[in-house]
Amino acid sequence: MRIDKFLKVSRLVKRRPIAKEMADQGRIRVNDKVVKSSYEVKLGDLIEVGYGSRTVKAKVCAIRETTKKAEASELYELVD
Protein backbone atom coordinates (compact mmCIF):
# COMPACT_ATOMS: atom_id res chain seq x y z
CA MET A 1 0.00 0.00 0.00
CA ARG A 2 1.24 3.50 -0.83
CA ILE A 3 2.39 5.68 2.07
CA ASP A 4 -0.14 8.41 1.28
CA LYS A 5 -3.03 5.93 1.38
CA PHE A 6 -1.72 4.28 4.57
CA LEU A 7 -1.54 7.63 6.35
CA LYS A 8 -5.14 8.37 5.33
CA VAL A 9 -6.51 4.92 6.26
CA SER A 10 -4.69 4.97 9.62
CA ARG A 11 -6.02 8.48 10.27
CA LEU A 12 -2.53 9.90 10.89
CA VAL A 13 -3.42 12.42 8.15
CA LYS A 14 -7.02 13.46 7.43
CA ARG A 15 -6.98 13.32 3.63
CA ARG A 16 -4.89 11.54 1.01
CA PRO A 17 -4.08 14.69 -1.05
CA ILE A 18 -2.65 16.27 2.11
CA ALA A 19 -0.51 13.17 2.73
CA LYS A 20 0.73 13.31 -0.88
CA GLU A 21 1.60 16.98 -0.55
CA MET A 22 3.46 16.34 2.72
CA ALA A 23 5.50 13.60 1.05
CA ASP A 24 6.28 15.86 -1.91
CA GLN A 25 7.53 18.49 0.56
CA GLY A 26 9.84 15.95 2.26
CA ARG A 27 7.93 15.92 5.55
CA ILE A 28 7.45 12.13 5.59
CA ARG A 29 10.32 9.79 6.41
CA VAL A 30 10.37 6.00 6.58
CA ASN A 31 13.25 4.28 8.35
CA ASP A 32 15.16 7.62 8.42
CA LYS A 33 14.81 8.21 4.66
CA VAL A 34 12.66 10.85 2.97
CA VAL A 35 10.12 9.07 0.77
CA LYS A 36 7.78 9.95 -2.09
CA SER A 37 4.03 9.44 -1.85
CA SER A 38 4.33 6.27 -3.97
CA TYR A 39 6.52 4.47 -1.38
CA GLU A 40 5.12 0.99 -0.60
CA VAL A 41 4.61 0.56 3.16
CA LYS A 42 5.78 -2.70 4.76
CA LEU A 43 5.08 -4.20 8.18
CA GLY A 44 7.59 -2.95 10.73
CA ASP A 45 8.38 0.32 8.91
CA LEU A 46 9.05 3.30 11.19
CA ILE A 47 7.19 6.33 9.82
CA GLU A 48 7.95 9.92 10.86
CA VAL A 49 5.42 12.59 9.89
CA GLY A 50 6.34 16.26 10.35
CA TYR A 51 3.40 18.47 11.34
CA GLY A 52 4.91 21.95 11.50
CA SER A 53 6.57 22.16 14.91
CA ARG A 54 5.94 18.56 16.00
CA THR A 55 6.83 15.14 14.62
CA VAL A 56 4.86 11.93 15.08
CA LYS A 57 6.71 8.61 14.94
CA ALA A 58 4.74 5.42 14.36
CA LYS A 59 5.62 1.79 13.66
CA VAL A 60 3.44 -0.04 11.10
CA CYS A 61 1.69 -2.98 12.81
CA ALA A 62 -0.90 -3.90 10.17
CA ILE A 63 -1.86 -2.95 6.63
CA ARG A 64 -5.51 -2.85 5.55
CA GLU A 65 -7.22 -1.26 2.54
CA THR A 66 -10.01 0.16 4.72
CA THR A 67 -10.72 0.39 8.42
CA LYS A 68 -13.27 1.80 10.82
CA LYS A 69 -12.40 4.94 12.75
CA ALA A 70 -12.39 3.04 16.06
CA GLU A 71 -9.96 0.44 14.67
CA ALA A 72 -7.57 2.83 12.89
CA SER A 73 -5.13 2.97 15.81
CA GLU A 74 -4.57 -0.81 15.47
CA LEU A 75 -2.64 -0.18 12.23
CA TYR A 76 0.25 1.56 13.99
CA GLU A 77 2.03 1.89 17.32
CA LEU A 78 3.30 5.30 18.43
CA VAL A 79 7.02 5.42 19.18
CA ASP A 80 8.82 8.04 21.27
Which CATH number do you get for residue 54?
Answer: 3.10.290.10
Whether 10 shows a pLDDT value over 90: the answer reads yes
Predicted local confidence at residue 80, as pLDDT: 80
- Domain hosting 48: range is 3-78
The total number of structural domains that make up the chain: 1
**pTM (predicted TM-score):** 0.91
> Counting runs of H as helices and runs of E as strands, what totals does the chain give?
2, 5
- Comparing CA positions, the residue from 79, 53, 33 lying closest to residue 3 is 33
Task: Tell me whether strands 33-34 and 46-51 are parallel, antiparallel or unpaired.
Answer: unpaired
Indicate if the pLDDT at residue 4 is higher than 90.
yes
What does the pLDDT read at residue 52?
Answer: 86
Q: What is the pLDDT of residues 12-66, one digit of tens each?
A: 999 999 999 999 999 999 999 999 999 999 999 999 999 989 999 999 999 999 9
pLDDT score of 70: 94
- Give the pLDDT score at 6: 97
Kindly report the number of other CB atoms within 10 A of residue 41's CB atom: 20
